[in-house]
Amino acid sequence: MRQVSRTATLGAALLLGVASLAVAPAQAATAAPSTTTLTLSTTASAFGQTVTASAAVATSPGPAEGDVVFAVDGLAYKANLGGSGTATLVLPRAGVGQHAVTATFVPADALQQQGSASAALPWAVAPARTRLQARAVGKGLRIPTYLAITVSGDFGTTPRGEVGVGLRRAGRRVDSATATLTGTVLRVGFGRLPRGRYRAVVRYRGDASHLPAQRVVRFRVRQR
């Protein structure tokens, strides 16, 4: 009787073990599938321009619960998934060129909902336009004349590189200068100039992220 009892006990244990192994895949199989759809506010922007990524996660049954991980060229940024099944992120500033953006849904409970990933979307970043402003200051026979120059990107970025200035009087070049930008404001001096009308051509040569720009300033040096 003892032998029969032990055999029955061992058989029951094996059956329970097999049954428990069969339950785990069954539970995983019941996790609700999901789909993640990614959209961008624009797929072609200028350097420094704000671009927002939005991900919509759909599950059946829903709603989706968890996080969305956005990635730009593989660099990940996590965003919380709202009650409506959407998540948004203002993408970090990217350099000029082609980039790939993806969104991946990471469920809070993998036994209840399955994760999913969107298709990659292309994001093209072009050089920003440059805002170039210049004005002549001084403009007196006994007062040194200089140009106050401001250079900035179209979306608040800071250009780098060189600014060249050519100064003409009566159609003849009288002076020129080249200066390197260390900020957004630049001062180019010409000292004391003779009386007359002048034309200054200011050229920003551009950099990898900003387009070239040009400004013409006309002024007159008077007796003071």
Q: What's the CATH number where 39 sits? A: 2.60.40.10
| DSSP 8-state symbol, 192 | S
Q: Tell whether 40 and 120 lie within a shared domain.
A: yes
Res 83 pLDDT > 90: no
List pLDDT tens digits, range 116-171: 999 999 999 999 999 999 999 999 999 999 999 999 999 999 999 999 999 999 99
Q: Is residue 22 part of a domain?
A: no
pTM, two decimal places = 0.80
3-state class (DSSP) for residue 81: coil
Amino acid identity at 91: L
Whether 131 and 157 have beta carbons less than 8 Å apart is answered as no
For 100-114, what is the mean pLDDT?
96
CA–CA gap between residue 221 and residue 149 (Å, rounded)? 19
Residue 26 CB coordination number (10 Å): 8
Q: Tell whether 122 and 134 lie within a shared domain.
A: no
- How close are the terminal C-alpha atoms of the chain, in Å? 127
Residue 182 CB coordination number (10 Å): 9
| Phi (first) and psi of residue 4, to 5 degrees | -65, -40
List pLDDT tens digits, range 21-59: 223 344 446 899 999 999 999 999 999 999 999 999 999
Give the count of domains, the chain. Answer: 2
